[in-house]
Amino acid sequence: MAEFVNAGYWLAGTDDTLPASNIDATLFTHLFVGYAQLNSDAHEVTVDPSQLILINQFSSTVKLSNPEVKTLLSIAGDTAVFATMAAEPANRDAFIKSSIAVARGGGFDGLDLQWLYPSSQDEMGNFKTLIHSWHQAVVDDATSLSLPRLLLVATVSNVPYLENNIQYPGEAINQNLDWVNILCYDFYAPTLSRSATGPSSAFHNPKVNTFSASFGIRSWAQSLHNPKKIVFGIPFHGWAWKLLSAHHHEVYAKADGEASGENIDGQIFYSDVQKFIEDNQAGVENNDKSYLIAYTYSDTTWIAYESEYTIAHKIALAKADKVLGYFAFNIAADDASNTLANAAKSNW
């Protein structure tokens, strides 16, 4: 069991921005790689052939700079495909066997299940059955190969329940997963909240408590009775809105969807936020104390993001809640100096 987790996600699709060979793996204890896919017909885990070499070389590449770093392959897919897989024993077996084979084939130390999200109590029951069988399979695999057991992680919603009182199985998670990655960001985005800006990765939210990392961490700690199973998320991307008025640029200011620019949905890398600030001599709030976010504005563009100061404060508060650690999504969004990754690691 890890003493603590300082993790980051790297996506094969961002190889042009951040090749694996340029990652400073000393900034992380764990690196997640995205994404393997769940095949909808055979219910097997596969890697896109165009990304296979990149993904299979990742572990050996990053371990050159940090031999101690653990790598995990992240499995994404349509929620309905996950639901169908988890509902039938034969489908579950196909998923489990293929996931272990793909992880071992790529030299990974673990697997990350991104079923976003089980949407009924039946599906939560199937999630429970799946992680129990998966855990038993990785134990058996480790025994047969005389190798360390693969780590098992699930990425989950910010709170341990979904609407209609649909609960994640806390006890089964405790017994079968090494930890959960909680998605405590993207609470607001211009595509979700068109008419007002929002604190997209708020640690506190005095207006809407449930849309905050602190609420998520404490809810999960209560559900699991064990904060050491919680790794909370910090986004390295921001969100850019178009303000209705250049004179009103506070959090929840009136807006008209996403700001015009390269990214049609309004998502923007931290490195590009820095460029925006510099190019526009933009106004900056580095550390809004009410929400623990940063934001910047110029004319009618308003961007919520994370700064080195917000990250330092968030990590201090999360550590006080005794969580296992944090993960960054995604590390290619950082600047060339790894400002955010350095801020996270140095404050852990």
Provide the CA 91 distance to its chain's centre, in angstroms: 26
Look at residue 151 and give its three-state secondary structure.
strand
- Dihedral sign (CA 190, 167, 153, 42): negative
Q: Please answer whether residues 207 and 268 qualify as being in contact, where contact means their C-beta atoms are separated by less than 8 angstroms.
A: no
Q: Compute the average pLDDT of residues 201-222.
A: 97
Q: Compute the average pLDDT of residues 56-62.
A: 98
Identify the structural domains of the chain with CATH numbers, from first to last: 5-188+199-235+306-347 (3.20.20.80), 240-303 (3.10.50.10)
DSSP letters for 110-127: EEEE------SHHHHHHH
Q: Cα separations (Å) of 206 from 158, 211, 215, 287, 321?
A: 17, 9, 11, 16, 19
Contacts of 322 (CB under 8 A, 6+ apart): 221, 227, 228
Please write the tens of the pLDDT for every residue from 118-136: 999 999 999 999 999 999 9
Q: How far apart are CA 158 and CA 9, in angstroms?
A: 18
**pLDDT range class, residue 2, cuts 50, 70, 90:** confident
- Which tokens in the block code for residue 47? 């890697």
pLDDT at 163: 80
Q: How far apart are CA 335 and CA 340, in angstroms?
A: 8
Q: How far apart are CA 203 and CA 293, in angstroms?
A: 7
- Which tokens in the block code for residue 128? 């429970």
Name the β-bridge partners of 284: 296
**pLDDT range class, residue 224, cuts 50, 70, 90:** very high
pLDDT at 1: 72
pLDDT at 264: 72
Q: How far apart are CA 306 and CA 298, in angstroms?
A: 17
Residue with tokens 């919603």: 157
Q: Which phi and psi angles does 10 have, rounded to 5°?
A: -120, 135
Q: Which of 62-66, 186-190, 254-258, 261-265 has the lowest mean pLDDT?
A: 261-265
pLDDT at 262: 57
Helix (H) or strand (E) holding 138: helix 121-145
Please state, for a pLDDT cut of 90, what percent of the chain lies above it: 97
Pick from 345, 286, 336, 324: nearest CA to 19: 336
pLDDT at 195: 98
Q: How far apart are CA 107 and CA 123, in angstroms?
A: 31
Q: Compute the average pLDDT of residues 94-100.
A: 98
Please write the tens of the pLDDT for every residue from 230-280: 999 999 999 999 999 999 999 999 999 999 875 678 999 999 999 999 999
pLDDT at 121: 95
- Which tokens in the block code for residue 81? 């495909």
pLDDT at 122: 96
Q: How far apart are CA 294 and CA 273, in angstroms?
A: 11
Helix (H) or strand (E) holding 257: strand 255-258
Q: Cα separations (Å) of 260 from 103, 190, 257, 266, 270?
A: 40, 11, 9, 8, 17
Q: How far apart are CA 47 and CA 101, in angstroms?
A: 12
- Dihedral sign (CA 120, 126, 132, 135): negative
Q: Compute the average pLDDT of residues 308-331.
A: 97
Does the predicted model carry a pTM greater than 0.75? Answer: yes
Q: Burial code of 123-158, b = ≥16 C-beta within 10 A, e = fewer?
A: bbebbbbbbebbbebbeebeeeeeeebbbbbbbbbb
Please write the tens of the pLDDT for every residue from 334-346: 999 999 999 999 9
Please write the tens of the pLDDT for every residue from 4-43: 999 999 999 999 999 999 999 999 999 999 999 999 999 9
Name the β-bridge partners of 31: 8, 71
Q: Has residue 183 got a pLDDT over 60?
A: yes
